[in-house]
Amino acid sequence: MLQNIFELEQRSGVKLGLAQKTLLAETGTIEQVLSILTGSEVRVNIVEQRENEKEISRESVILNDADKVLIRAHSKIFVRNIPRKIARQIRQKQLGIGTIITNLHLETFRKIIEVGYDPVNRSVFRRYQIIYKKRVAFEIREELVGV
């Protein structure tokens, strides 16, 4: 991951801060890490959520206690690959995916697929999968906008 971040800085011409590097490489709950890095509570707001028979698509933002957007996320939840209680909580639109996974003690593995720089929005992003029982349960793209 260190090499990927170095290459990202070289390609984009952007020098990333320690918080950005940490968030790009993080494989745990991003909400917890953001709380620590910002020294404040963070919350997830669901901007839009749609569902078909195979997946739930969700757009969300993570904000600090001053309502500053820190991260913008686009998620695909593959309903057939997760327990019903997880899908039910996602449909309620109350909590972030990481918090739901942690609260329900779901054993998962996060695999970072890509880190990159979006020159239009002038922000870094990462795309990763959350694996549950050897199947892709979630695919998430997080854009670090206010970190």
pLDDT tens string 60-88: 999 998 999 999 999 999 999 999 999 99
* Residue 20 to residue 12: CA distance in whole angstroms: 14
Q: What is the pLDDT of residue 134?
A: 96
The chain-wide mean pLDDT, for the chain, equals 92
> What averages of pLDDT result for each successive group of 10 residues across the chain (147 residues)?
87 88 84 88 95 96 93 97 96 93 92 92 93 97 90
Query: Which of the following CATH numbers is that of domain 2-144: 3.40.50.2300, 3.40.1410.10, 3.40.50.700, 3.40.50.970?
Result: 3.40.1410.10
| Token duo for residue 93 | 């639109």
Cβ atoms of 94 and 107 closer than 8 Å: no
Q: What is the pLDDT of residue 121?
A: 85
